[in-house]
Structure 1
């Protein structure tokens, strides 16, 4: 006989669909280090509608535990037509993704639908090592206990080392202004910026896209995005300019307070070819006007003269504020072989002006590196082999809409294991950085229209759901996603491997990763199931614990 109210504990890599039977075996225990965020789920299903189910938690971990409800997000475009077979689903529908705050500790149980509570434990180095029971209870509004689940979390007496990987998820500051109806850099906007930056930092982002001028990213040719410009520009004469950096200083101070370590200054030329200037607004005769944009030839005298005045003053400001070792620059995003000449021209304009600063760009054609046009390329994870073969360092990688065959990614339709395996891959290849373009892109493709991310998750049918953003715009700030939590787990795995490397050596860690596999791990070959990831992490935890015990 089917129970009226069922519950089951499952790990964080399970995506629970409301219209699908839950076949995952129950989990009862887990482990984390002193400064590691640990997540798991309690799934529940009722045979009848229960409008209000009260959910409570009891544990010695106290306020280190947060409960959220896993919400469902619609996807009209879950995957490309020629996808591989490492997918959970390929049809449009509702997918588990947003992590919604509990409204008065109450959830709704729909008849016959599996849903789940996402449990997050954050010890923050303030919990003593030991085993902590966590009891989650479900009750009716009348106080009747519907179910109870007990989980045991062991806190191991060791801490993850500081993250070495440079990690950026492109922050679209203009999307905050349009969704929350603020003016760029008014006080409400600054408060939102703080919240979204802090959430990014808490999930392993330590480098932030910094809009010197409105970033020329995903913009329709001839169109423009809302102005979000940190540098003040005043035209003082024919081809002469005065610059102000007060707003940029407030930005970097805010980033410092949130824990951002590196700044990637926005692209100095347009996307896909570096053929035009970004939109730049200036005060001209007391009025604010656009002085550069799509109408500006990137290699023309006017923009060249502007950069010759602007970049030296920016570099001086960077040095005055002690940011030399923390500053990175972009020329143009995702140029192809057709753009070699225009990219080279743009690079030559800024090369001497930015001497000593790393220039990083997402591009996948090895020719750009071979010809010396970019010293710090960021190839996609499905185009990285030539860069690996030729020993390119420092090694970065990225993925986006086009990386959906064999390699790791984080679409709604993909299993969470395909998201988390990234940590192992980044460790094996000793990657210096990881980039993704979509922290909070809440527009349609080419930024033509504003969308509601709770209703449109594919940029208006342009990119499979899960590519454009990691966070949703809550009423008062960011709402995180399953994908964001799992990506944090991947970065924590990477740090755990760094710790284990300190204890047993890199060669031993690498050997353990490939042990028992038919083929060594690469960016396109890796174990597909969650059990392998969890068991490998369990093995790492055991080794770390052994060394902790030996020190006592």
Structure 2
């Protein structure tokens, strides 16, 4: 029997315009295209969005008028297939943030905004004002439940507003067709570190203060835990399934009568349990236990705690320091015992010290040997820029360009059974995929096509919400070694009263995670085809098919082949 395929596509066309005055120009634009405020040419309204059951369909409208618009509002009035309706539809408005500068080594296809204003946050408000001769994107998120009836859905979106000449109403018609393939869960391991706790508690309070609209938030208060829950729910909604926690610094330490350590793991437990209750946590990752004792090329110290006047104090020292040894000889066995009691020992992985390079690989290996003596069964993973520590790490995580430069070495490691992830941060720049705001959005989505193409089951990034003081106005103000980090490196969500706002980059990353899952599903039945489709998009670790129309064709084939 011939297999029947139902296509899920979003096809917009003008149904008509009934208004007191002519409405503004309204165009359907592929959601992978970043719209600058100065853009006027949006291309033909022929984009098709193909999605599986169980994911979210994104639709983007560009609204532009030569006169100011007050109260621009978009509402989906219906979206039906016979008697069945899709009801969970969110209308958002794309906001703009200012970049202080482009990356030091910008890509050839970098987006250059004349006013340095770039689209990113998805604003959740009922309407928005639009300046004259300014493009304003409207973003629709249409939830497609996993049990959605496949078939054609017809809908209308009503766009209203007021100009100097009066009010207008424009109706756009669109249709949706659904593929029968279902996405129930995703297997790609994705960790983007949330700033809910770390070794700088003042930073945590700052993050929560922004969320609570400048109200003071006490660490570990009821409001704090409510924010952690919101974070867990949002990360789950966007397919994040690995949580990094700065374990060492959220444990309470008290001395017993002999001056030995007593450990209270209750805050650590509450964070993990909150994420487990509100998400699908496949890996718990322990934050770094130490850091460089000087510049980039220097060796590593370990953090440790000691008691002064009965209170725990944070220090750092060499792995041979007697106080360091004393602390870890007590901490590691107690923590391992606790993980086993909580049945987390099989999913817990520990970072040691971050980003070892050739110059300090020896220092790293010394720490790894010390750690292995105390915890021979605890698994480790590490963000690395050297091949000299591979034997000491269960999961090496090279930065993308270092992986590219040393791919033959890592390919051999994979063939010998080594699990390998990759990470991005303010590096790599140039032509590599990353999540910078200045890059074409497709380069953010393709991060997870790289995961599939090169058999990398995990991805890590250091920052989910490491905000500056004004993240909704500026996007690249945080400094590292005296330099401005590329816009988008430090956060991918934005603060709002009582929670978090998504961004078009986070939407693209979620869709890339779904792409990975579809490729893995196809691989189980047709591995040659899944590899061929991935190869059409990912030419190498730094060369990709970034033409949106070509990408859509391949993605459609991926869905049709299921």
TM-score, normalisation: structure 2: 0.85
Q: Find the partner of 2:52 among 33, 37, 46.
A: 33
- Give the aligned partner of residue 502 of structure 2: 480
What aligned pairs does 1:177-192 form with structure 2 within 5 A after superposition?
177-179=205-207, 180=209, 181-192=216-227
CA distance in 2, matches of 1:29, 1:153: 9
Q: Which moved more, 1:63-72 or 1:28-37?
A: 28-37
Deviation for aligned residue 1:357: 2.4
1:523 aligns with 2:541: yes
- Give the aligned partner of residue 447 of structure 1: none
Deviation for aligned residue 1:279: 6.7
CA distance in 1, matches of 2:335, 2:220: 20
Query: Over residues 214-261 of structure 1, what are the superposed CA-to-partner deviations in whole Å (9 max), with x where a residue is unaligned?
Result: 4xxxxxxxxxxxxxx2x1111236762111112222122111111122
1:426 aligns with 2:459: no
By percentage of residues, which structure has more strand? 2
- Give the aligned partner of residue 246 of structure 2: 211
Kept after mapping to 2: 8 A contact 1:269/1:346: no
1:250 aligns with 2:270: yes
- Give the aligned partner of residue 391 of structure 1: 413
Secondary structure at the residue paired with 1:382? Answer: helix
Kept after mapping to 2: 8 A contact 1:5/1:146: no
Secondary structure at the residue paired with 2:540? Answer: coil
Secondary structure at the residue paired with 1:342? Answer: helix
- Give the aligned partner of residue 357 of structure 2: 336
Kept after mapping to 1: 8 A contact 2:303/2:324: no
1:375 aligns with 2:375: no
CA distance in 2, matches of 1:303, 1:283: 12
Deviation for aligned residue 1:161: 5.4
Query: Over residues 327-384 of structure 1, what are the superposed CA-to-partner deviations in whole Å (9 max), with x where a residue is unaligned?
Result: 0101011122221222112112211322222201101211221xx2323210011111
Kept after mapping to 2: 8 A contact 1:6/1:147: no
- Give the aligned partner of residue 556 of structure 2: 538
What aligned pairs does 1:82-231 form with structure 2 within 5 A after superposition?
82-89=105-112, 93-102=116-125, 105-140=126-161, 144-160=167-183, 162-174=185-197, 175-179=203-207, 180=209, 181-214=216-249, 229=250, 231=251
Secondary structure at the residue paired with 1:160? Answer: coil
Q: Find the partner of 1:361 among 376, 382, 386.
A: 382
Q: Which moved more, 1:401-410 or 1:125-134?
A: 125-134
Secondary structure at the residue paired with 2:467? Answer: coil
CA distance in 1, matches of 2:156, 2:204: 38
Kept after mapping to 1: 8 A contact 2:29/2:60: yes
Secondary structure at the residue paired with 1:178? Answer: helix
Q: Find the partner of 2:493 among 445, 453, 471.
A: 471
Kept after mapping to 2: 8 A contact 1:176/1:189: no
CA gap of 1:463–1:396, structure 2 versus 1, over 3 A, is: same
1:275 aligns with 2:293: no
Gaps of 5+ in 1: 215-228, 444-450, 545-552
- Give the aligned partner of residue 520 of structure 2: 498
CA gap of 1:330–1:8, structure 2 versus 1, over 3 A, is: same
Deviation for aligned residue 1:108: 1.4
CA distance in 2, matches of 1:201, 1:265: 19
TM-score, normalisation: structure 1: 0.87
CA distance in 2, matches of 1:205, 1:195: 13
CA gap of 1:92–1:187, structure 2 versus 1, over 3 A, is: same
Deviation for aligned residue 1:197: 1.9
CA gap of 1:279–1:202, structure 2 versus 1, over 3 A, is: farther
- Give the aligned partner of residue 332 of structure 2: 311
- Give the aligned partner of residue 200 of structure 2: none
**How many correspondences in the alignment?**
508
